[in-house]
Structures are given as structure tokens and as C-alpha cells.
Chains A and B, each alone.
Chain A
Amino acid sequence: MTPAPGPIRQTSHSELEQALAEEGLFVDYGACVVRLRSRLKGFARSLREVYGAFPFRPAAPFADLHVRVDPGRGVRRWLRPNARFSIDGVEPFDPFPLASALPLYEWGVNWCFAQRFNQHVLLHAGALACADRAVIMAATPGSGKSTLSAAMMLRGFRLLSDEFGVLCTERGALLPMLKPVALKNQSIELIRAFSGEAVLGPVHAATRKGDVAHLAPDGASVAAVRRPARPALVIFPRWREGAALALEPQAQEQAFARLAFNSFNYRLLGPVAFDAVADLAAACPAYQLTYSRLDEAIDAIQRLLDEQPALAGAEGRT
């Protein structure tokens, strides 16, 4: 029997760099596997910091996405060094400054996933689980869902994703799409101060989305990357400076409309998404959560989860 691969953090820098330059690194995010290749100097170092708990896999029988992050070409590579992202030989974005290679890779994979994975309903949502019961936190950008997702992981929830609620249309289960959590601007120091357990990668200053740093997923979340969770609670988070904690129940049709609005591919999937989102809205209580303090918000979410009756099965309608 082949031994399970060790985590990337225990792999030497040169081994990781060599894998990236040759056959590639196969990263299992749960809902999809990415084969990543790169000849970019220093990229392995920042990757190692935020993918430390992921298994080091320099070979795998299959990958959904084949991507590369490479240095810029021509004279510009010397005058203004940059990094290029490509998938199947196509570069969907303009190059990023070299220092932003990791954010470029992370955004690139998010973009590819959102474009191609239409076998699932993709909600724009953070997703976390406690004993395989999932909390879906759907919100528009800037609502603080990544920060709250990060804080919840650091308080013991299993992180499925800070960006994608991947809803399996056949089973009604939520699949992990486990990537490092992209924290922006003030959220970076907020999360650093929130827990000594937080493993943060380098701060990428002044990217197109401001300062960005990535929080590494913890070992427990990575170990369960292939385990779906059953949706149990829907939260629409809204961070407001100084606000007292407030929970406002959402009627089922209201929750349905907000989930559909916060989906990447609701319109594209038509009746399939209609049924899946309606099932979700009918099965899970939904609340709008206004908060200013992370621990208060997490306690409130935990209480709401505890109030839900424990149903059999961890994978939805399997």
C-alpha cells in the first residue's frame, strides 16, 4: 500500500519547486483538483506558507484544471517583472506584478471554478461545518464573510470555503472547495490578533483589491476535504462598525431570493438551480446577522446550530 503523502509544510523547498517546475503539484480542493505548474522563482515559498496542511502530491491520475503561473515574457520581464496565469494554454487575465503571484493564482482558480463547475449550484458564500452540519453564509463582496469564515475556522469550525457554497444538485449536500481564505485590508491584522493559531501568508500590498493576505486552512479542514456536509443553517452576514448583534429571521421565500441572487450560476442552471435552492431554503432556517464583534457572531451561529434538530446522515439526501 502506498503511504499517504505528507503535508506540504514537511516538504523541502527545493522538492516543492522541482515538482512545480516538472509534473506539477496536484492540489485537491474537494470539489475540484488542480494541477499547478510554475517556473516562477519564489512562488513555491509563498505557496508553502498557505498550503502547508495540504498533502504534497507531485503526481495524480486526474486533475480538473491544469493551470500555470509563469514569469512574464520579453523585455518587460526585466523592467517590470510580472506573473502570468494560464489555463490550458490560455491567459484569461493581464499579468500581475511579480509580488502578487499568489493572489493571481488564487483569483485565477476561483475564476476558472466559477466559469466551469456548472454541475453544481455555486453560491457566493462562506461555508463551514460543525459535526458535518453546514452553515452557509451568503453575501455580496464586502459584507465580511471571509473574515467571519476565517474566525469561525479558528474557533473550531471545519472550513469548506470562504468563497463558494458548492451545492450538489443531486444530493443536496454541500461540498468543500477548500482554499486559503483571502483576507483584505484591516481584516488581515484583525484575524492575526484574533488567534495565535492563525497561519497567514505574506501581505501583498496594493493589489487590485487592496492589501491581501491568505489564511492557511487548518489540518482538520484539509483532512476532511472530501467529506460533504449537510446544509443546516443559512446566514446573511452584515458587518457594521460598532453594531450590536442582531438576528433577523428570514422568511423562506426571502432566503430563496437572496440565495439565488448570491449565486454565480443560478440563471445558467435554470430549473435545476430553482429546485436545489428551493430545497435549501425550505430545509434550513435563515437569518440576517448584523454584527461588529466576531466572537459574538460565532456564539450566535453556534447557538442557532445547536437549536436545530439533529437529523441522521451527514451528506444530505444521499
Chain B
Amino acid sequence: MASLGKPILRRLGDAAIAFDPRSWETHVLPPAAAVVAEIAEELSAEGPVSAERLRRELWAEFELDCDTPEMRQLLRTMGEIGMLEG
């Protein structure tokens, strides 16, 4: 189980689910969001990940534009459930 504050992320098929141990809320992440969440989790092995760092990595690795409304919403949600710092 993750330490308090860090969400538990589980893959379910192409999608994922995340449990927020602070609020005890569960979030269902559709396939595209699941990929982004997994990248954030991989990066977090080296320490806390900020939204800005994730944006940079997504652009550098996948040329993924994080300036769309959907991506902004996803990053905001990931911040709210403790997957991103700040």
C-alpha cells in the first residue's frame, strides 16, 4: 500500500483506477489519462513530480501538447489527488 498522501494506482485493462488515501476517493482514469498517470508514477520514483516537470517530459518524449483543455483538466485532477506536487 502507498504511504499516506500518495495515491494507489492500478491498471485495469487499458484504463486505470486511483485511490486517494487522503480523501478515500476513487478515480477512474480512461486509457489516455492512465498512460499519463503511469508516466507520472514512473517519474516519481526519483522524487516528487511537479506538473511542470511532467509537461516537459510529455513534450520531450511524446511531443504531447499539455495546453489543451483536456490535458489541463487531467493535470489539475492529478494534482488534486496527490499524484503531482504543488
Q: Which A residues contact B (CB, under 8 angstroms)?
A: 251-253, 256-257, 260, 267, 270-271, 274, 278, 281-282
Contact = CB atoms under 8 A, between A and B. Distances in A.
Contact of A271 (B8, B15, B29, B30): B8
Contact of B12 (A267, A271, A281): A281
Name A's interface SS: helix
B8 A252 contact: no
B1 A251 contact: no
Contacts of B16: 253
Most buried by B among A252, A253, A257, A282: A253
A278 B17 contact: yes
29 contacts: A251-B12, A251-B13, A251-B14, A251-B15, A252-B12, A252-B13, A252-B15, A253-B12, A253-B15, A253-B16, A253-B17, A253-B28, A253-B29, A253-B30, A256-B17, A257-B28, A260-B26, A270-B19, A270-B21, A270-B24, A271-B19, A271-B21, A274-B8, A274-B10, A274-B17, A274-B19, A278-B12, A281-B12, A282-B12
A278 B12 CA distance: 8
A270 B4 CA distance: 13
B13 to A, nearest CB: 4
Name B's interface SS: strand
Contacts of A267: 24
Interface in B1-48: 1, 8, 10, 12-17, 19, 21, 24, 26, 28-30
Nearest 5 pairs between A and B by C-beta?
A: A253-B15, A252-B12, A252-B13, A274-B19, A270-B24
Contacts, number: 39
In the complex, which range does the number of interface residues on chain B fall in? 10 to 19
A281 B24 CA distance: 19
A257 B10 CA distance: 13
A258 to B, nearest CB: 11
Nearest to A257: B28
A186 to B, nearest CB: 36
A256 B24 contact: no
A253 B26 CA distance: 11
A140 to B, nearest CB: 19
A278 B15 CA distance: 12
A277 B9 CA distance: 14
Contacts of A251: 12-15
Given A251-B13, A274-B17, 13 more contacts: A251-B14, A253-B12, A253-B15, A253-B16, A256-B12, A267-B24, A270-B21, A271-B1, A271-B8, A278-B10, A278-B12, A281-B12, A282-B12
B12 to A, nearest CB: 4
Contacts of B26: 260, 274
Most buried by A among B14, B26, B29: B26
A270 B21 CA distance: 8
